Structure 1
């Protein structure tokens, strides 16, 4: 098994400090592991012994042997015919641009699979599922659209989903309402935005938990986020892609609906009833049979 596969092994029992080291390794694999143990520990904000313990847990006699394995993987990768072929791709023609872009985006998606620890994704999903009060969704100039998409999903699945959108002055009104039982989902890809970072920081200071979806360079929010999910943004376009982050978003929604199917279904049925009643969409007639669920009276 390659070292990268060991790092993302969902069955492995890693400590929170060891997961910090793994995140740094995966974010810049394998280069991050070629520095000194002290440098790697500094980047992960853990102690030097934590790095050594992780190397031992991965089956190596120590950090030096782990580095040797990384160097061997790197050498094999650099010398493979497939890698050389990849590095010599012809210039994209106008006729083949779509195909080339699609392939580059698919490659980014595949890379995103190895950048996220299953434990981190599960933690983010659990935070969404178990959120006691409100869920605030926020993003920047472009990532704000991702925040809006997550909000549109959540508002169908549960009450209390809020899309945070507006100027810094407007954001202050949202921050003033945030408490310890609230959750913030922040989307922040490079170039990171001051208003998004400030909102998340102030929400954190008020006790809210933070889920951050960002890139491998990580938004400043990562320094205090409860859990951080990273994804690649590079393709052949001069603009960063948001497709891997969008897939992460949809995966979180899928996890939410999968765990709370019985709780979600009545709400969706009631929403659908009123959509049909108001002839909101064109694929169902206004007189289609549908009944809203009855509100259950509290037992006394």
Structure 2
């Protein structure tokens, strides 16, 4: 049985280079509609991927499963976890809560989330995302949902200082279609969407993608359906001993991205910072100790 901390999606992405051509074709087919793609009969999965039944059996074993039934059982467990609401999640962890203070248990879970998340991210891919966000000749749109709007706003406030041509969209607002009027091909959308994925966010992503926008997605280990439209997706581990999921790992990625983009555009960013500080002085927004 594979490492329980890894999703099947993680396992597939780890092993892509070791798969045959037909197995890679199957892998991509599974990921296109993950995890639902693997919940049907083995023959149906093989047919959808246009590969043979033995190819499915071989790849499942390469991922560390004894056979297709075990593979499917793991997918079903992932699907259950994907749709849990806060009450169900609370009931799950309290039943077998380990001894020790919540500070230690929560911190251990966050550190574990960070370790597994960073293990799945290619530095070159992260650099590509930062370079896209740093393109000041392209408009940057940042989108958050019911809870993730806080992460979106945090990124937006920093990017406002770093660069121009930037818009913050809240997909929970009825006015979000208005923002799409000015979207041009090549513009960049940074979208946050975690489990209990929001229909508005997916529809917004579909419409932006249809206009030629490029999408960078911050999601969880089960991946928002927006990932099928995204050029780059970052899947963060979010499970902690709480009724709510943790944003600590996603925030780490966001803050690292802010630092990287700041350095890429440092000349312009420095000028904007200096101008902003002059405005702060004029408005006396912050208290100064002299």
Same topology, TM > 0.5: yes
Of the candidates 9, 23, 27, which is equivalent to residue 40 of structure 1? 27
Of the candidates 125, 135, 141, which is equivalent to residue 136 of structure 1? 141
Residue in structure 2 matched with residue 96 of structure 1 by the alignment: 101
Q: With a CA cutoff of 8 Å and minimum separation of 6, indicate the structure with the bigger relative contact order.
A: 2
Q: Is the 8 A contact 1:27 1:216 kept in 2?
A: no
Report whether the alignment pairs 1:112 with 2:117: yes
Report whether the alignment pairs 1:232 with 2:237: yes
- Structure 1 residue 133: Cα displacement: 2.7
3-state secondary structure, aligned to 1:169: coil
Looking at structure 1, the residues matched to 63 and 181 of structure 2 have their Cα atoms a distance apart, in angstroms, of 51
Looking at structure 2, the residues matched to 236 and 143 of structure 1 have their Cα atoms a distance apart, in angstroms, of 19
TM-score by length of 1: 0.67
Looking at structure 2, the residues matched to 169 and 69 of structure 1 have their Cα atoms a distance apart, in angstroms, of 44
Of the candidates 253, 260, 271, which is equivalent to residue 258 of structure 2? 253
Residue in structure 2 matched with residue 185 of structure 1 by the alignment: 190
- Structure 1 residue 279: Cα displacement: 1.2
Looking at structure 1, the residues matched to 179 and 169 of structure 2 have their Cα atoms a distance apart, in angstroms, of 7
Q: Is the 8 A contact 1:138 1:144 kept in 2?
A: yes
Residue in structure 2 matched with residue 271 of structure 1 by the alignment: 276
TM-score by length of 2: 0.70
Report whether the alignment pairs 1:216 with 2:221: yes
- Structure 1 residue 208: Cα displacement: 1.0
Structure 2 stretches lacking a partner, 5+ long: 33-48, 52-56, 66-95
What pairs up with 1:119-158 in 2 under 5 angstroms? 119-158=124-163
Q: Is the 8 A contact 1:139 1:145 kept in 2?
A: yes
Report whether the alignment pairs 1:203 with 2:203: no
What pairs up with 1:43-82 in 2 under 5 angstroms? 43-44=30-31
Residue in structure 2 matched with residue 18 of structure 1 by the alignment: none
The structure with the larger Rg is 1
Residue in structure 1 matched with residue 45 of structure 2 by the alignment: none
- Structure 1 residue 151: Cα displacement: 0.4
Q: Paired residues, what number?
A: 233
- Relative distance call for 1:132 and 1:125 in structure 2 (3 A) is same
Report whether the alignment pairs 1:24 with 2:9: yes
* Worse-matched range after superposition: 175-184 or 191-200: 175-184
